[in-house]
Amino acid sequence: MTEHELRALGPALRRFLDEFLFCCAYTQTFAHLATYVRGLLADLPRKTVAPIALHGGTPVRTLQEFLRDHVWDFAHVRAGVQAHTAALLAALPDTDGLGTVGLIDETSVVKSGPQTPGVHRQYLDWVGKVAHGIVTVHRGVCKGPFPSLVDADLFLPESWSQDRRRCRAAGLPDDLVHRPKWQIALEQVERAVGRGITLDWLTFDEEYGKSPGFVAGLDQRRRRFIGEVPRSFSCLAAVKRGTPPPAGAKGRPAEQVVRTASVFRGQTWQVLRLHRPTVADQVGRGKAARGWRSSRRGWSAGTSWLLWAANDATGEEKFFLPTTPMFSVSRPKRPCK
């Protein structure tokens, strides 16, 4: 944002930040939060503490100490953000007909210090490989052009969870234990909904779509979603409505099912257009059919839609589980006998 835009935002930003005054254990230094937030919003080449402090006319060491030493009530802040967002979403018009869409995703940071909470050698999507760092699971929400983050949780590796002395030394509470990322994501969905953030849709990438427990949890909660699954996702096309595969049948990878099952082969491709506000629309093709999901626990309780999407420009293929097919699906005609 430009300096002119920041000045215009000033009164509204102050009112918003004032809602969190008593989330800070030492309220006398609360004004430094505005300095830090304005710096993050400003059009600065680097948004580390030093340039932010200098931009706001604050001594660098003062802002460093504010961020390092002053304790915040995270649960109180999160509850305030979610209550603020729920009220704002309810007042916004549904400009695109999609309603309120929730997003589950994660981020990662390369870290090597052994005392950093949750640091571990693990897959970091930010660098695209296994390295030492931390991973956090996030919940976002959007309605029309309005986006916001409303939740965040540290993913605690098992090695940390089993060493409570190390956790206490790093300031981690005893009730923070290892949980799979998909379980954290389900908890975030329920927490936000419980605070009034109504979700019309939920979306997620294959890191969460690959977890049968996550998809089953959304089904049990009757949440509408469209989530990506890996090409190795185990499933079978539904041949007869309501009839699951035999108990001994084995699932096949999604990339094989879409190429061999008659319900896919007999379909014509449908044009899919993904509107993106800042870059050109992404255009591709899609086919969809119902199928059964397979996991270690056996076959799913019911069928799900499997969407096969292809991008002609890049040759990329993706697979999704939508609660509705997103377009009209015509079943292939059976040949006359």
DSSP state of 86: H
Residue 337 has pLDDT above 50, yes or no: no
CA distance 252 to 309: 18
CA distance 205 to 320: 9
Give SS3 for 28: helix
Residue type, position 105, single letter? D
Give SS3 for 139: strand
Residue 19: which of 76, 88, 68, 92 has the closest Cα? 76
Structure confidence by residue, pLDDT tens digits, 8-50: 888 899 999 999 998 888 888 899 999 999 999 999 999 999 9
Query: Can you give the pTM of this predicted structure?
Result: 0.88
For residue 50, give the H/E element and its range: helix 49-55
pLDDT tier for residue 328 given thresholds of 50, 70 and 90: low
